[in-house]
Structure 1
Amino acid sequence: MSGKRDAQLALVIGATGGIGGAVADRLVAGGWRVRALHRDPETARKTSGRPGLDWVKGDAMVEADVVAAAKGASLLVHGANPPGYRNWAGLQLPMLNASIAAARAAGARLVFPGTVYNYGPDAFPTLTEASPQNPLTRKGAIRVRMEEALKVASEDGLRVLIVRAGDFFGPRPGNNWLSQGLLKPGRPIAALTYPGPMSVAHCWAYLPDLAETMVRLAEREDLAGFEVFHMRGQTLTGDELVAALEAVAGRRLPVSRLPWFAIRAMAPFNETMREMLEMRYLWESPVLLDNSKLTARLGAEPHTPTQAALRAALAGLDALPRETAALAA
């Protein structure tokens, strides 16, 4: 299998982002040749901090660019995600349609990260691959349409793998709740802001674990033409998350509630605030992902211990207290 994989090529859309970058890193480590699409490949090559990628020029919104970049690829990872929730309606579906066309032209399997935005409270608390998708939000409705487009494409021969996980976090700064909502990157962690009740369980996904899961599944020979798997990830109440962060930081961390009233006041004038406000319901009820199908296929879900994952995330955000960072070094 390794000899076959050494000759295989993967195209990653969104390799400068959190999930696309994590999957690109894992593919390189596993012996794949990895091509990454970017509108400014020279800048991406210099600033991404990801050696081993073949950066090519192109726009993820332009089908011809993606089709050309995917030539010879056996795997296409669609990790594009507009930052700050901005203009999802105008960007997400066109980018996905370009990736679908490129994967079909290349005969590649398309790998797609699913989210919990697809679901409303009628599916809570435990989400399985068969749970009804009745989203409450515009963003959730877009994600549902994206997965529907993938399902339709699979009925016409495209091979699709969707791996669904909770809120992403990882060892690099990124577009996620941990680095943009709970703490302030670039300074030692001293306090936290939490979006929901502290006793409610919430699902998180450590990006290296998610990337490992995606690649292990994508390399299997027993996948059907359209497959969906759920990752349990790091499932923690607010109290458990704070306790783990305190253990990593080596200090007590005062917790304040996210000021939703202020976000509501800013929402009419700020698209990111408006989209954040729509996501509030996901913090007020338990949201759990059933990984039974995944563990049946892989034997066990790739899982980094919570404190180790959070330590790596804080180090990447330059948010570890200096004394803790020195000890870790």
Structure 2
Amino acid sequence: MASSNTVLVLGATGGAGGEVARQLRDAGWDVRALKRGAAQAVEHKDGILWIRGDALRHRDVLDAAAGCAVIVHAVNPPGYRNWSQLVLPMLDNTIAAAIAQGATIVLPGTVYNYGPDAFPVLREDAPQRPRTRKGAIRVELERRLEQASHAGARVIIVRAGDFFGPGAGNNWFSQGLVKPGRAVKTISYPGRRGIGHQWSYLPDVARTMVELLARRDSLEAFARFHTAGHWDADGTRMNDAIRRVMLRRTGAAPRVAAFPWWLVTLASPFVATLRELREMRYLWETPVHMDNARLLAVLGHEPHTPLDAAVEATLAGMGNLPPAGRAAMAAA
């Protein structure tokens, strides 16, 4: 098993990978990151060593991972393009590098690999019988990781609900509820009142991964954890938090409207992201609540930012809020 304090982050230019990379750096890790199209072969920036390379190239990943104790696999094709053709080959490269180094793979997981038969409360060992194409790929992805854990690699999977947070990338918060770069006048909510939904603040999930990595030697070779995040028991809590933040920062609270599923249906044949959103609609039609008992048994707690603070940081990062000075004038 590699014992260095060096980690390779794949997907560090994205939301999840970037947040994990920064938190690992701040925790004292030597962080490397693979970046396509980098101007220089190697560049130090913001305390991270950026290496020119592509997660789809086997040799690039093997070379970048040399001497690493951990590989964070947070890479996804941009905009969901060719997702089904690219996700598994990228993972295979990570697995090969981890086996060669005796390294631990860390994967940000989702609930996509579960079908409705596993709801409403999700535990780590719940049956994985998804009804979607994307869910089936997630199941295969985890199956390959479990196989890798018997071949010299170690694996930590941290599953979470719908991400939100500064720079979180493609997610329901920034592509469904509100639109980046403008004051929020309307919240478009995809679910129905009374249907519970789970949200996960990305910095909290990243902190969970960092804390689990500090205990990785005591975990089983294939370790899976669920985070509880922010549970919206009736589909109103997130909307109310957005309204409170906007009222405090701008003096006006947005209204809540139903998400236009009809428009997604019409446009999904032409827009890959909308096709993915439509495929995940079932997650808004039934409560999905993740049980974090196993995480609590290991860490004793789950990193947790208060909802209003998390929402405010998210909206600020998306450009939805005025600067502090203007906010004070609006509220006066």
- For 1:78 and 1:248, locate their aligned partners in 2 and report how far apart those are by CA, in whole Å: 33
- For 1:216 and 1:108, locate their aligned partners in 2 and report how far apart those are by CA, in whole Å: 17
SS at match of 2:236: helix
Residues 7-22 of structure 1: matches in 2 within 5 Å?
Answer: 8-22=5-19
1:246 to partner: Cα distance: 1.1
- For 1:43 and 1:198, locate their aligned partners in 2 and report how far apart those are by CA, in whole Å: 51
Does residue 68 (structure 1) correspond to residue 63 (structure 2)? The answer is yes
Runs of 4+ with >3 A deviation = 42-46, 321-328
Does residue 272 (structure 1) correspond to residue 269 (structure 2)? The answer is no
- Alpha-carbon spacing, 1:111–1:323, altered in 2? closer, same or farther (3 Å): closer
Does residue 170 (structure 1) correspond to residue 171 (structure 2)? The answer is no
- For 1:84 and 1:25, locate their aligned partners in 2 and report how far apart those are by CA, in whole Å: 23
Q: Choose from 215, 235, 238 the match for 1:238.
A: 235
CA contact (8 A) 1:88 1:142 kept: no
- For 1:81 and 1:301, locate their aligned partners in 2 and report how far apart those are by CA, in whole Å: 26
Question: TM-score of the superposition, structure 2-length normalised?
Answer: 0.92
Identity, % of aligned positions = 52
- For 1:77 and 1:239, locate their aligned partners in 2 and report how far apart those are by CA, in whole Å: 34
CA contact (8 A) 1:112 1:162 kept: yes
Structure 2 residue aligned with 1:260:
261
The unaligned stretches of length 5 or more in structure 1 are: none
1:253 to partner: Cα distance: 1.6
Q: Choose from 141, 158, 179 the match for 2:174.
A: 179
Structure 2 residue aligned with 1:30:
27
CA contact (8 A) 1:183 1:189 kept: yes
1:118 to partner: Cα distance: 0.6
SS at match of 2:268: helix
Does residue 209 (structure 1) correspond to residue 210 (structure 2)? The answer is no
Give the count of matched residue pairs. 322
Q: C-alpha offsets along residues 257-309 of structure 1, whole Å, 9 cap, x if unaligned?
A: 11111211222222222221110000111011000000011001010000111
- Alpha-carbon spacing, 1:96–1:10, altered in 2? closer, same or farther (3 Å): same
1:71 to partner: Cα distance: 0.4
CA contact (8 A) 1:8 1:32 kept: yes
**Higher helix fraction (1 or 2):** 1
CA contact (8 A) 1:73 1:108 kept: yes
Question: TM-score of the superposition, structure 1-length normalised?
Answer: 0.93
The unaligned stretches of length 5 or more in structure 2 are: none
Q: Choose from 127, 142, 158 the match for 1:132.
A: 127
1:138 to partner: Cα distance: 0.4
- For 2:264 and 2:40, locate their aligned partners in 1 and report how far apart those are by CA, in whole Å: 34
SS at match of 1:268: coil
- AA of the residue aligned to 1:205: S
